Amino acid sequence: MKIGLVIESFNPARGGAEQWTSQFAAWLAKAGHEVHVVASQFGADEQGIVRHTIDHPASRIDFALAAERHVDSLSLDVVHDMGSGWHCDVFQPHGGSRTAAFEQNLLLLPRWLRGLKRQTARCLPRYREFQRLLMGQYMTEQRIFIALSRMVARDFERFHGVRRSQIRLVYNGVDVRRFSPEHRPRYRQIVRDELGVRDEETLLLIVAHNFRLKGVPTLVSAVKRLRGEGRRLKLAVVGGKRRARPDTGTADPAVVYVGPTDETVPYYAAADLYVQPTFYDPCSLVVLEALASGLPVVTSRFNGAAELMTPGAEGQILNDPASVDELTECLRPLVDAAKREPMGVAARELALRHSLDCNCRELLAVYEEVTASRRKRAA
pLDDT-based confidence at residue 48 (cuts at 50, 70, 90): confident
Percent of the chain with pLDDT over 90: 82
pLDDT in tens, 159-198: 999 999 999 999 999 999 999 999 999 999 999 999 999 9
DSSP-derived secondary structure for 200-218: TSEEEEEE-SSTTTTTHHH
CB of 293 within 8 A of CB of 190? Answer: no
Report whether pLDDT(322) > 60. yes
Cβ partners under 8 Å of residue 271, min gap 6 = 203, 204, 205, 236, 290, 293, 295
- CATH 3.40.50.2000 is right for the domain spanning 2-173+356-378: yes
DSSP-derived secondary structure for 240-257: SSSSS-TT--S--TTEEE
CB of 233 within 8 A of CB of 332? Answer: no
Residue 43: predicted pLDDT: 85
Spatial distance between the Cα atoms of 361 and 263, rounded to a whole number of angstroms: 26
Cα 330 to chain center, whole Å? Answer: 23
CB of 6 within 8 A of CB of 67? Answer: yes
Closest by CA position to 300, among listed 317, 313, 316, 315? 317
Percent of the chain with pLDDT over 70: 97
Residue 144 has phi, psi (to 5 degrees) of -100, 135
For residue 238, give the 3-state DSSP assignment: strand
pLDDT in tens, 277-294: 999 999 999 999 999 999
Residue 241: predicted pLDDT: 67
pLDDT-based confidence at residue 325 (cuts at 50, 70, 90): very high
Q: How many residues does the chain have?
A: 379
Spatial distance between the Cα atoms of 145 and 250, rounded to a whole number of angstroms: 48
Report whether pLDDT(123) > 90. no
| CATH number for the domain formed by residue range(s) 181-352 | 3.40.50.2000
Residue 167: predicted pLDDT: 97
> Residue ranges per domain, the chain?
2-173+356-378, 181-352
pLDDT in tens, 90-120: 999 999 999 999 999 888 888 888 888 888 8
pLDDT-based confidence at residue 375 (cuts at 50, 70, 90): confident
Element containing residue 169 per DSSP (H, E): strand 167-169
Q: Which amino acid type is present at position 223?
A: V
Cβ partners under 8 Å of residue 113, min gap 6 = none
Q: Which amino acid type is present at position 13?
A: A
Q: How far is CA 190 from CA 151, 197, 203, 226, in A?
A: 39, 10, 13, 25
Element containing residue 144 per DSSP (H, E): strand 144-147
Closest by CA position to 303, among listed 316, 293, 292, 312? 316
Which stretches within the chain are classed as H helix? Answer: 16-30, 60-72, 98-106, 111-121, 125-138, 150-160, 184-195, 216-228, 265-270, 285-292, 324-331, 337-352, 356-378
pLDDT in tens, 25-39: 999 999 999 999 999
Spatial distance between the Cα atoms of 169 and 150, rounded to a whole number of angstroms: 7
The b-or-e profile of 218-255 (16+ CB within 10 A means b, else e) is: bbbebbbbbbeeebebbbbbbbbeeebeeeeeeebebb
pLDDT-based confidence at residue 271 (cuts at 50, 70, 90): very high
Average pLDDT of the segment spanning 290-310: 98
Question: 178: buried, middle or exposed (CB in 10 Å: 19+, 13-18, 0-12)?
Answer: middle
Residue 251: predicted pLDDT: 62
Cβ partners under 8 Å of residue 6, min gap 6 = 37, 38, 39, 67, 71, 79, 80, 81, 82, 84, 85, 88
Mean pLDDT rounded to a whole number for the chain: 93
pLDDT-based confidence at residue 276 (cuts at 50, 70, 90): very high
Q: Do the first three CATH levels of 2-173+356-378 and 181-352 match, i.e. the same topology? A: yes
- Strand 78-81 relative to strand 167-169, pairing: unpaired
CB of 107 within 8 A of CB of 126? Answer: no
Report whether pLDDT(250) > 80. no
Residue 249: predicted pLDDT: 41
